[in-house]
Amino acid sequence: ASLYAYVSRGAVRVVAHPTDPRARLYAAADIEDLIARKARGRRPALAAATALDWGLPVLTTAISRIAEGHLLYRDVDAVELSGHASLEDIASLLWQCARNPFASRAGLPVRVVSSTGSPVERAVASLIPLLPRDNAEDTVQATAIVRRVVASAIGKPAGDHAIHAQLAAAWDRHDAADTIRRALVLAADHELNASTFAARVAASTGASLAASVIAALAAFSGIRHGGATQAAVAVLRAGGRAAVKRPANLPGVPGFGHPLYPDGDPRACALLAACPPSAALRATIDRAASRAGAEPNLDCALASVQLTCGLPEDAAFSIFMIGRTVGWLAHAIEQQAGGKLIRPRATYPQRH
Q: Which amino acid type is present at position 88? A: E
For the chain, give percent helix, strand, coil, nearest 5. Answer: 55, 5, 40
| Of the candidates 196, 312, 191, 302, the residue with the CA atom closest to the CA atom of residue 254 | 302
> Length of the chain, please?
352
CA pair distance 188, 93, nearest whole angstrom: 11
In Å, what is the CA distance from 60 to each residue of 36, 57, 65, 268? Answer: 21, 8, 10, 26
* 114 vs 146, higher pLDDT: 146
> Would you name the residues annotated as active-site residues?
225, 258, 299
Once rounded to an integer, what is the mean pLDDT over residues 313-325? 97
**Measuring CA to CA, which residue among 16, 41, 38, 13 is closest to residue 28?**
13
Name the range with the highest mean pLDDT among 15-29, 135-149, 234-248, 272-286: 272-286
User: Measured between alpha carbons, how far is 161 from 255 in angstroms, rounded to an integer?
Assistant: 31
- Give the separation between CA 17 and CA 26, rounded to whole angstroms: 9
Question: 86-139: per-residue pLDDT in tens?
Answer: 999 999 999 999 888 998 887 777 878 888 899 999 999 999 999 876 666 889
What percent of the chain is modeled with pLDDT above 90? 64
Could you tell me if 109 and 158 are in contact, meaning their C-beta atoms sit under 8 angstroms apart? yes
Report whether pLDDT(193) > 90.
yes
d(CA 158, CA 161): 9
64 CB burial (10 A radius; 0-12, 13-18, 19+): buried
Query: How far are the Cα atoms of 12, 37, 47, 50, 56 from residue 42, in angstroms, in the given order?
Result: 20, 9, 9, 13, 13
E strand map for 284-352: none
Cα torsion at 331, 76, 271, 221 (round to 10°)? 10
- Tell me if residue 64 falls in helix, strand or coil: strand
Running DSSP on this structure, what letter comes out for residue 25? E
Is the pLDDT higher at 47 or at 288?
288
Identify the band that residue 43 occupies on the pLDDT scale cut at 50, 70 and 90: low
Q: What is the pLDDT of residues 248-293, one digit of tens each?
A: 556 678 999 999 998 999 999 999 999 999 999 999 999 999 999 9
- For the chain, the average pLDDT equals 89
- Do residues 218 and 329 make contact, with C-beta atoms less than 8 angstroms apart? no
Q: Which amino acid is at 65?
A: R
Q: Pick the most confident of 38-52, 240-254, 305-319.
A: 305-319
d(CA 210, CA 127): 6
> Once rounded to an integer, what is the mean pLDDT over residues 187-215?
96
Section 194-220 average pLDDT: 96
Looking at the predicted structure, is the pLDDT value of residue 78 above 70? yes
pLDDT at 245 over 60: no
Biggest CA pair distance of the chain: 67
Is pLDDT of 296 > 80?
A: yes
pLDDT digits (tens, 9 = 90+) for 2-21: 787 777 777 788 888 888 88
Q: What is the per-residue pLDDT for 46? A: 55
